[in-house]
């Protein structure tokens, strides 16, 4: 059964376009090239001057996730410029079993 890894972060809306580009160049790129990754989706929601991003990656197994995240797969992984964009750095991500995918 595949596993979805879900991370979320919030920026000021004025930074959302630049942060999306940064996400694609860093996290999404690294996720996709990690063996065992089955795909990456980035969702964004704009509301009240802020933009909330969700990065959902799908994996073959927990051992595949470890190749990207390290031994503690619950720990969020951040890149150097994330602190410039994000309003807070959430320490954890969530994992879900993919029960159905069409």
What CATH number corresponds to the domain at position 77? 3.30.70.100
Radius of gyration of the chain from its Cα atoms, rounded to whole angstroms? 13
What is the average per-residue pLDDT within 26-45? 98
Q: Is position 53 within any domain?
A: yes
Q: Give residue 100's pLDDT.
A: 93
Asked if residue 43 belongs to a domain, the reply is: yes
Instruction: Please give the residue range of the domain that contains residue 81.
Output: 3-97
Task: Please tell me the total count of domains within the chain.
Answer: 1
pTM above 0.75, yes or no: yes
- pLDDT recorded at residue 101: 86
In this structure, is residue 102 part of a structural domain? no
Report if residue 54 sits inside a domain.
yes
Q: Is residue 74 assigned to a domain? A: yes
Average pLDDT over residues 35-49: 97
Nearest by Cα to 12 from 85, 101, 67: 85
Is 92 a domain residue?
A: yes
What would the pLDDT profile of 46-88 be if each residue is shown by its tens digit?
A: 999 999 999 999 999 999 999 999 999 999 999 999 999 999 9
């Amino acid at each position: 059964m595949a596993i979805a890894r879900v991370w979320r972060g919030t920026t000021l809306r004025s930074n959302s376009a630049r942060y999306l580009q940064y996400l694609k160049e860093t996290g999404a790129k690294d996720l996709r090239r990690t063996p065992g990754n089955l795909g990456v989706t980035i969702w964004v929601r704009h509301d009240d001057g802020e933009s909330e991003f969700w990065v959902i990656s799908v994996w073959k197994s927990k051992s595949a996730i470890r190749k990207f995240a390290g031994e503690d797969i619950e720990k969020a992984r951040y890149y150097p410029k994330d602190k410039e964009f994000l309003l807070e750095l959430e320490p954890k991500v969530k994992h879900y079993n993919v029960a159905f995918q069409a």
